[in-house]
Amino acid sequence: MEVTREALHSLGPKGLIMDEVIDIFGIKCTLSRRNLLYLPTTIFGLHRENNPEIWGAHIKDSYTPLAGSHIDKVFIPFHSNTLPLHWWACVCDIKQGKNFILDSCVVVNVDPDNKHAKEIVHHVSAILGESYKYLEFMHTNEFVNLEVPQQTTSYDCGIFLLKWLSALDDDSLWTKSEYFEKLTQYRKSIILELLRWDKNTKKGHLYDLCS
């Protein structure tokens, strides 16, 4: 996928992380963790436009797990399309049989009663369940609004999302406040991580963000 210079600069101080950056980081995590299925930010947007046939085909054609893989977790990022702009996530944990809602600013409450999350998980599980029966029933799992540390700014929700993605191998970190300290440094560490990634063809766009 192509990531614009503007999107990469959202990793700078006080930037509201753009969807392209979240998607490329999610793809990177998927490639390094074969047990993780990351669904792109476009899924939620298409869902909000009430076009299930299009986004259903989008999942089936582009994001079905690789043959022979066994998915333990499905990570779905959500983003409000209206004010206040906000990122949050749902992690479907197949082993635990639970769907965890992760929200770094619960006072925003953009999805009361997890209505949108439940609808999306239901349709995703039906689509993926055609080929992976163990994913078919993930929509019947319990939805748990996990108590995670809350952001202290109006712009760090995207960084929390990337932190959750990077901690999927140790989800106990989700609830540890010290894990979310020094977010400015974490923004820089993501920049360096993307710089070192062999699949990144836009390295030049990131150099000036490292200073």
CATH number for the domain that contains residue 156: 3.40.395.10
Residue 42: phi and psi, rounded to 5, are -65, -25
From first to last of its 211 residues, the chain has per-residue pLDDT tens of 677 778 888 999 899 999 889 999 998 888 888 788 888 887 766 666 666 677 677 777 666 666 666 889 999 998 876 656 889 999 999 999 999 999 999 988 778 889 888 988 988 888 888 778 888 899 999 999 999 999 999 899 999 999 999 999 899 999 999 999 999 999 989 888 887 888 776 655 554 554 4
pTM listed for this prediction: 0.88
- Looking at residue 97, its pLDDT comes to 95
Q: How many CB atoms lie within 10 A of CB 130?
A: 11
Number of domains in the chain: 1
| DSSP code string of 124-160 | HHHHHTTT-GGGTTGGGSEEEE---PPPSSSS-HHHH
Domain with 40, as residue range(s), is: 5-209
